Amino acid sequence: MNDFLHKLPTFVGNHLALSALFVIILLALVAMEFGRLLRKYKELTPGGLTLLINRETPLLVDLSARADFEKMHVPGARHVLPSQFDPEHKDLAKARDLPVVVMDKDGRGSDKAAQRLVKAGFTRVYTLGGGVLAWQQAQLPLAKGNK
């Protein structure tokens, strides 16, 4: 270890661009993890969602495209088009104190919806990491059709 610390300044001096890139990537990773810790909603794994479903009765909101939802969705999920997702809607506002899990096909679009729910006063907001595809890959049961 002592030898490594003595050679480090020489390495950094000889490989300035590589060292700068390493520092930039390291700072970006730290910033992303710090942001993840500070956000007001949590990301669930398929196993974590299963535990939540078994312990409580969360509201499951699927923002996938209609065709994707009809092909496969988490049992009990309600389909809402992203363009029609409104946290202030009277039906959704009734669930303000319930756990609400937002998901979509691949997990990429649910963060914005979760942020909107938190901004609207929802206190127990979750997303399904990896979306319905992660649920499928975990070989958990899927539902098909409109409901």
pLDDT tens profile 35-70: 667 778 999 999 999 999 999 999 999 999 999 999
Residue 53 near residue 120 (C-beta atoms within 8 A):
no
Share above pLDDT 70 across residues of the chain, in percent, rounded to a whole number: 97
pLDDT at 85 over 70: yes
127: nearest Cα among 94, 101, 89, 90: 101
CA dist., res. 60 & res. 79, Å (int): 9
Q: What angle do CA 138, 142, 143 make, to 5 degrees?
A: 170
Tokens 């002592």 label which residue? 2
Phi/psi at 16 (5° precision)? -65, -45
Enter the pTM of the model: 0.77
